[in-house]
A and B are shown apart, each in its own frame.
Chain A
Amino acid sequence: MGAKFDVKVLTRNKVFLAGLIILFTVAVVAVFADAIAPHPYDEMNVSLALRAPQPRFPFGTDQYGRCVFSRVIYGTRIALGVGLVVVLVESLIGVTLGLLAGYYGKKFDKIVMFVTDLTWALPPLVMALAIVTMLGPSLINVVIAIAAVSWAQFARIVRAKTQALKNMPFVEAARAFGEGDLNIILRYILPNVLSPIIVLSTLTLPQAILSTTSLGFLGLGAQPPSPDWGLILSEGKNYIRQAPWISIFPGIALVYTVLGFNLLGEGLRDILDPRLKL
């Protein structure tokens, strides 16, 4: 696999390159938000409410006179942060269960697959809605809710790959050398399921961002005055006649970021594993 990560191979894939460039700009904005944003995201000034875009407020102001541009800039941190944490949590759960179920098989496999099917059968957003309502609306609970309903894809793919790998000669050789199960799973099987995990992670990250903002939009995610894009959009929806800019700009930022991840994921799939189906 090492050779495939050749810089030339990566940059020759235009889709991957486009995704990489987009995400690089998003990451720069997130890191340097303090320097880029002209105002703090929660600085209110009611006398300047609902102003159209102008040099002082490039994206206009919202109903409390807050600078929409600054809010969108700071929102980048929330979107990226939540996306990364969600994917980290769900891939940890899914990969662990998938490896164990695929390797040990039998009863354990049946139980894991049953739970996986069950999770898959539930409408994800409805489940997330229920979990968030139970725990109360907040960003951390949104992370929990989304991770709890979306680890199933990881478990399925990793399990299938593990099943195919565990009877390969090199794994049998390792077993013959007297390697323990844990060692075999971590040193022989895991490296070989890494590429679908990487592809799946980059493709589920934008989904996680979309789910977070959807919940925020429904008022169940981040709470005001947080500059979460979904939250800004749901506030802007009430002023869509007088101040459409509140709704337009966070949406563009959201689509831009999600598009970046999707392009990156598509490109990575073409490079690493063209036959992978998700």
Chain B
Amino acid sequence: MKTKNQLALAPWVFTLGFFALWEILCHVLKISSFILPAPSTILWAVWEYRTQLAYHAMHTLWMTLAGFGLAVGFGLLLGMVLGSSRLINAGTYPLLVGFNSIPKVAVVPILVFWFGVGWVPPVMTAFLISFFPIVVNVATGIATVEPEMEDVLRALGASKRDIVFKVGVPRAMPYFFGSLKVAITLAYVGSVIGEQNASNVGIGNLLTRASAAFEVPLVWAALVVLAVLGVIMYAITAYAERSMTGWAQRSQMAA
């Protein structure tokens, strides 16, 4: 019971301790707020710029969720195709890996040529950066169906499609939800990059403008807002994972 309480408290203690240490160091070493503002200064900036931050944060949230939603839909579809056909999998793998290795910042200018400055580039960047882990995980889940299970169903006259939908897809769900946690953080990176380079609104754009004007506390405040949003979205996907695939998390390791 005691260890359980300690476990529940530990995240709070460590987080608060981290910021307290930061605050103390800033004051003791008299670090200029231009280099590293103290948490209290940042918090104050968050409050001061709250309407601006909230407006831009909502925009970023939208861009991220739109890109992430596209990535989930496309990733599931492509993952299912790759997982059920070894031929397509082998054929497209080099292309996919090659595409995934391109830093997505480098793609933003092309997106601007195509779609102009606005909401499309951030959404597209978020999508492009986050679909890959979903594809790979879903494909792995489907491709690793036990051969015995496949035999049982094929001997009954099951089609490839039956096997994919009855066994492959449900079996891939733990992999899928695991990849969502990676994808949501990546989508965030994508939308902020997109906004920095090709948008007039959003936290990314706010960051660009604030740093150009040397408004250091605002830059830090924007970062804090990003971190908080990121944690919340990660928590939501983690919760979805637990509630959808409880059957897969019965090991002692997961407890």
The yes or no verdict on A and B being binding partners is: no
What is B's interface to A at a CB cutoff of 8 Å? none
What is A's interface to B at a CB cutoff of 8 Å? none
